[in-house]
Amino acid sequence: MAEPLDPCPDQVERLSASVDDALPPAEARALTAHLAGCEACRDHAARLRRVVEAVRAAGPLVVVPEAALAARLAALDGRLAAPQGAGPEAAPPGPAPTAVEVRAGRPILWGESAWQLLRLLVGLTFVVAGALLLEAKWAQLRAPREGQPPAPLVPTPATEAPPPDLPPPPPPPDEPPPADEAPSARPDPDDVDPDVQPIPPEPPDRGPIVVPPRPQDEPPADLTRARDRRPEGPDEADPQAPRPEVVLAQPADVERLIASILDRGTDPQQRLSQLRSLGDPRFRLPLAYRFLGAVLLDGALDAYPLPNDCRRAACGALGALGTEPAAQVLLAALSRPARPAHRDADDAALCAALAALSEDAGVDRLARAVAGLDEERGLLGLRALAMGPRGPRGGGGDPAVDGLLELYGGLRATPALLREAGAVLGETGDARALAAFAIAISAGKTTAVRQGAALGLGALAAVDPPSAPACLDGLRAGLRRAERDDPGLALACVRGLRRSGAREALPLLIELTDPKVERRGPVRGLALEALVALTGQAHADADAWRTWWRGDPALPRPRDLRPLAEAAGLQQFFRLPAQADGVVFVVDVSGSMGHDGRWERARAELRRAIEPMTPRVRFQVLLFRDAPLRVFDGLVRATDANRARALRFIDQQRPLPVARTAIGRALEDALDLAAAETIYFVSDGIDAEQDDAALRLRVARRNAQRAVPARIHTVLVRTGAEEVSLDEGPDDPTAPIDVRLMRGLARDSGGVFVRN
């Protein structure tokens, strides 16, 4: 008989899974195509099926107690060992063996044959019993789909001890870390012997475990809000559509992957790819969480090439897992101070990972943890909640609401945290937020609480349109309260009206552009900017807006790219209204601005905006390349002398071909000017020092810490053409990076994004 052929090594696991009907549809199709041309794999599959069918056909088993089985075996051993005729119980001699009972010249004794048969039956008993126990275990682990609580993913010390070479899992955020876990007590990565690599121990084989899939197997890698994404397939279009079950990998598979990551011979880029692959839902195993936590929290790969990228890859893998154990590790990282030299990039990766959490328990943990963090880390947590998949939900509502209400109503947080908590609470679309906002906007004890209510009401109206009338009533009440000299609340109410996107908000905004109704210039300027953003129209005064509104005009779709018109009698900068009391022009003069007439267009727009300014306005011009170039030390009155000095300075500047673009430092300098309420940011490219996510986080954090956040209007200049279009589109990860950056900076601050 010919020896069976060995199957293809890369198909062994698929063949085994296919026999158990546990192969996903895509892999099953690939295996079928492979079997059509591979005789060895077909033969291996047939043999596997015969073995499985034989075990399944073994019939019912009789379970014998262990003590009884031991007694029977002992008695049988005694009878076999006793000589024939030794006593009254000795077996009588039997007939001589026949030729059929002789094998290899040796007679087969019936007692020996019975012993072998009994051993075979006992072995078969254990095999089938193991199969039945495994079947029962699978049924138990499938119980969550039938209303039973899911089995915990984190092992207990009694069932599985952590490997001795990997750090223990981090404590949950609500438990203080042990004293010996302080960052200062950790060994320096340089003190670790690079030639000694930990080898994970061999765990017991537990077989495949089937768990219910989480709501979103592949969270977005970018910072896109879930409500800004359009359905792309049946799963996205129908949330109730069944999803395939996720089959967890074997612990040995995780150990092999970790061993490859720890192998110093692995290519650095391949190591990063392997770290990211641990975010696959199949790797939701305790060993994976512990290893990723060791990389992120304790720098387990800091002595390897690309150590910072390794940390961020581990962070991204935890976000992709999206589970509550992953949330515990990420919150442990959030509770620690950032590394100063890598703060923005590390925090951007952490923010994206926290925003990707998909289990309600993990989101609830994040929302409750913010109250115990300092201002900087708390703002990072709130930003992650704002970027996550918020919006109206059935059942018990949004899982972040309880924690946000606790933070927003506790009055123990800083003003910046209270204001941002209100805005994020509105983003949830949860009905419980409306009652809290209605009380806070009229009777809140601090202006930060009232501002948060105004921002939250606007967000709630946009996310949950049926609540828009009640939200607009609350914003009207806030405007009445703001008449008693609360400019911060008035500005927040105008931003809330714009954020609502409701048609009913336009008459309120039109009235706020009238100096007879609203005496404060910043409020009038912001209302005018909101009208331009919502309608794409430009009118010089309130009477012109009222005339336009009486015509019952149709409004453009919010996300359409639409051109802006030049309005007679209206002071404009790139067709945007320029009527604020504190203005900073931040303009790019790096080398790329010298192409296609970009700098000439920017310089002409600066002259057009500065020349008509009155001394009531305070302004600053800040040009930047590698570093910012300031005309004045701070904001100055727009006197004739100051305007002439600014224009001379602008005319003397030329883009330098070798100069790079340092956007972050320029915008931070502008935000450091406390009286600056409006920033016009003009550029043609991207930052040369940071990616767009890290830069947006850096600017948003600095802006949120101001007493009144400034609005940043962004202008993307690609040519010297006069035409300018308003871009109110959503965050789009497929957009060019310059569009993504400029659109995001405006969205984060309540500004307007235009481009030519």
pLDDT score recorded for residue 131: 57
pLDDT tops 70 at residue 413: yes
**Same domain? 549 vs 682:** no
Give the C-alpha separation, 89 to 645, whole Å: 124
pLDDT tops 90 at residue 52: no
Q: Are strands 582-588 and 678-683 parallel, antiparallel or unpaired?
A: parallel
**Same domain? 657 vs 727:** yes
Query: Are 49 and 6 a contacting pair, CB within 8 Å?
Result: no
pLDDT tops 60 at residue 163: no
Percentage of the chain surpassing pLDDT 70?
72
pLDDT tops 50 at residue 173: no
DSSP H or E segment with residue 551: none
pLDDT score recorded for residue 95: 43
pLDDT score recorded for residue 668: 93
Most confident of 48-52, 111-115, 715-719: 715-719
pLDDT tops 90 at residue 635: yes
The burial of 138, by beta-carbon neighbours within 10 Å (0-12 exposed, 13-18 middle, 19 or more buried), is given as middle
pLDDT score recorded for residue 152: 36
**Same domain? 590 vs 727:** yes
Give the C-alpha separation, 589 to 597, whole Å: 12
Q: What is the pTM of this model?
A: 0.68
Q: Is 562 part of a structural domain of the chain?
A: no
**Same domain? 381 vs 399:** no
**Same domain? 295 vs 315:** yes
**Same domain? 583 vs 534:** no
pLDDT tops 70 at residue 11: yes
Banded model confidence at residue 497, pLDDT cuts 50, 70, 90: very high
**Same domain? 383 vs 412:** no
Please give the residue range of the domain that contains residue 439: 394-555
Q: Is 547 part of a structural domain of the chain?
A: yes
pLDDT score recorded for residue 578: 83
pLDDT score recorded for residue 349: 96
**Same domain? 483 vs 600:** no
Banded model confidence at residue 384, pLDDT cuts 50, 70, 90: very high
pLDDT score recorded for residue 130: 60
Q: What is the pLDDT of residues 424-483, one digit of tens each?
A: 999 998 888 999 999 999 888 889 999 999 999 999 999 999 999 999 999 999 999 988
DSSP 473-493: HHHHHHHHHHTTT-HHHHHHH
Banded model confidence at residue 129, pLDDT cuts 50, 70, 90: low
Higher per-residue confidence, 360 vs 51: 360
Give the C-alpha separation, 165 to 401, whole Å: 40
pLDDT score recorded for residue 72: 62
The SS3 call for residue 706 is coil
Boundary residue ending a domain (355, 389, 423): 389
Domain count, the chain: 4
pLDDT tops 80 at residue 396: no
Q: What is the pLDDT of residues 189-220, one digit of tens each?
A: 333 343 333 433 333 333 332 333 333 333 33
pLDDT tops 80 at residue 395: no
Report in angstroms the alpha-carbon separations of 516 from 144, 455, 460, 512: 63, 25, 30, 9
Q: Which of 122, 126, 95 is nearest to 110 (CA)?
A: 95
Query: Are 318 and 326 a contacting pair, CB within 8 Å?
Result: yes
Distance of alpha carbon 532 from its chain centroid, rounded?
Answer: 33
pLDDT score recorded for residue 56: 60
DSSP H or E segment with residue 334: helix 324-334
Q: What is the pLDDT of residues 55-76, one digit of tens each?
A: 665 544 445 566 665 666 666 5
pLDDT tops 60 at residue 33: yes
pLDDT score recorded for residue 561: 79
**Same domain? 459 vs 376:** no
Q: Is 87 part of a structural domain of the chain?
A: no
Strand runs (DSSP E) across 478-568, as ranges? Answer: 562-563
Arithmetic mean of pLDDT, 591-605: 90
pLDDT score recorded for residue 364: 93
Boundary residue ending a domain (389, 409, 434): 389
Q: What angle do CA 198, 204, 206 make, to 5 degrees?
A: 125
Q: What is the mean pLDDT of the chain?
A: 78
For residue 592, the domain's CATH number is: 3.40.50.410
On the CB side of 279, how many CA atoms lie within 13 Å of its CA? 25
pLDDT tops 80 at residue 86: no
**Same domain? 592 vs 737:** yes
pLDDT tops 70 at residue 6: yes
Q: What is the pLDDT of residues 252-298, one digit of tens each?
A: 999 999 999 999 999 999 999 999 999 999 999 999 999 999 999 99
Q: How far apart are the first and last CA of the chain?
A: 79
Q: Is 60 part of a structural domain of the chain?
A: no
Q: Is 66 part of a structural domain of the chain?
A: no
**Same domain? 743 vs 635:** yes
Q: Is 681 part of a structural domain of the chain?
A: yes
Q: Is 679 part of a structural domain of the chain?
A: yes
Report in angstroms the alpha-carbon separations of 671 from 674, 726, 749: 7, 24, 11
pLDDT tops 80 at residue 168: no
Which of 39-53, 99-113, 357-371, 695-709 has the least mean pLDDT? 99-113
Boundary residue ending a domain (492, 521, 555): 555
**Same domain? 508 vs 583:** no
Query: Are 207 and 134 a contacting pair, CB within 8 Å?
Result: yes
Q: Is 303 part of a structural domain of the chain?
A: yes
The burial of 726, by beta-carbon neighbours within 10 Å (0-12 exposed, 13-18 middle, 19 or more buried), is given as buried
pLDDT score recorded for residue 212: 33
Higher per-residue confidence, 568 vs 391: 568
Q: What is the pLDDT of residues 212-265, one digit of tens each?
A: 333 333 333 333 333 343 334 334 444 445 555 778 889 999 999 999 999 999
Higher per-residue confidence, 134 vs 330: 330
pLDDT score recorded for residue 700: 94
